[in-house]
């Protein structure tokens, strides 16, 4: 029994070590697949000049029949649907969720950093208010890899798929009480220097293609939001796996999701390996 336990530990350590390879692009094959698919870690907010769809990515996309994102960003009117869905129901506003003092802190931040009053967005779900707030750290009007890759895919005649629906994605946020979301927002704005440091760490880890650091930083941040790491990372990863399997068994697929979903023992790389797939980093000279 001791030998079995030690062997298990060794195998886990070997697997964990290989997951930390510095690559955002991973090849998925084996387990009966007739052609490989690819897994890519994105960053959701980035300055346009920092977007780099490099040769390795272009080669992987060219060899794939379709691209899959967390959401189908090629879907008609998805932007309009998102704007409607991220508003709190029953005319609830952020004022209903925080104290007058906390509201002043938030309003001051929005005015100073975004040059916009909080009143313009007070019906917005607190999590998405936070997303707007964090964008002030970037010295630009941000885009995302999802948007840029969708445009690139469409221009190259590739089909676009979504792993989950907009309604389903928003349901994970709804699983976290609005009061808790609002508390997290106020805490983050009140400790904005610490939050900004986390964002800088994420951006640096992304630049280094360090998916383990991306996972650890994202996980640590979401732990501050009640059950955030479970609903927004772990649960979604597990629900995505059968859908991803269906996609890659049908057609070669380039799958692009937030880089924080790749690393860790409950990340997509490890979960796919547990299903029997060979998942390896794509580095220079390894993409055939």
**What are the residue ranges spanned by the domains of the chain?**
24-281
Q: Which helix (H) or strand (E) holds 254?
A: strand 253-258
pLDDT confidence of residue 88: 93
pLDDT confidence of residue 20: 57
Whether 245 has a pLDDT exceeding 60, the answer reads yes
- Arithmetic mean of pLDDT over the chain: 87
pLDDT tens for 32-57 read 999 999 999 999 888 888 899 999 99
Higher pLDDT, 195 or 272: 272
The count of residues in the chain is 288
Give me 162's structure tokens: 């979504």
Taking the alpha carbons of 138, 140, 141, 145 in that order, is the dihedral positive or negative? negative
d(CA 259, CA 228): 16
Question: In terms of Cα–Cα distance, which of 234, 232, 231, 255 is closest to 243?
Answer: 255
Q: Residue 27 class from Cβ within 10 Å (0-12 exposed, 13-18 middle, 19+ buried)?
A: buried
Of 8-17, 92-101, 170-179, 199-208, minimum mean pLDDT range: 8-17
CA distances to 25, 55, 173, 247, 261 from 232, in Å: 22, 31, 7, 22, 9
Residues 228-237 as b/e (b if ≥16 CB within 10 A, e otherwise) read bbbbbbbebb
d(CA 11, CA 88): 46
Question: Stretch 108-126: mean pLDDT, rounded?
Answer: 91
d(CA 20, CA 264): 9
What is the pLDDT confidence band of residue 201, given thresholds at 50, 70 and 90?
A: confident
What is the pLDDT confidence band of residue 234, given thresholds at 50, 70 and 90?
A: very high
The model's pTM = 0.87
The angle, 0 to 180 degrees and rounded to 10, between the axes of the packed helices 100-114 and 178-190 is 60
């Amino acid at each position: 029994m001791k030998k079995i336990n030690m062997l298990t530990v060794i195998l886990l350590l070997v697997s964990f070590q290989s997951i930390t390879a510095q690559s955002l692009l991973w090849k998925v094959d084996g387990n009966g697949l007739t052609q490989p698919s690819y897994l890519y870690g994105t960053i959701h907010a980035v300055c346009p000049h920092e977007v780099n769809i490099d040769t390795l990515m272009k080669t992987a996309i060219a060899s794939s029949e379709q691209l899959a994102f967390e959401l189908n960003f090629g879907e008609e009117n998805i932007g309009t649907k998102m704007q409607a869905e991220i508003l709190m129901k029953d005319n609830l506003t952020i004022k209903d969720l925080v104290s007058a003092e906390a509201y002043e802190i938030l309003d001051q931040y929005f005015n100073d950093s975004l040059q916009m009053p909080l009143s313009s967005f007070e019906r917005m779900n607190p999590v998405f208010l936070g997303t707007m707030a964090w964008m002030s750290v970037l010295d630009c009007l941000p885009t995302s890899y999802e948007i840029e890759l969708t445009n690139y895919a469409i221009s190259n005649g590739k089909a676009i798929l979504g792993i989950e629906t907009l309604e389903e994605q928003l349901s994970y946020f709804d699983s976290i009480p609005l009061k808790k979301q609002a508390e997290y927002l106020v805490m983050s704005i009140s400790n904005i220097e610490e939050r900004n440091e986390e964002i800088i760490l994420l951006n640096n880890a992304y630049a280094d293609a360090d998916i383990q650091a991306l996972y650890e930083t994202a996980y640590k941040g979401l732990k501050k939001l009640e059950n955030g790491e479970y609903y927004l990372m772990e649960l979604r990863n597990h629900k995505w796996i059968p859908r991803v399997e269906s996609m890659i068994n049908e057609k070669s697929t380039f799958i692009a999701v937030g880089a924080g979903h790749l690393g860790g023992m409950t990340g997509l790389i490890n979960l796919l390996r547990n299903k029997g797939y060979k998942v390896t980093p794509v580095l220079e000279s390894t993409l055939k």
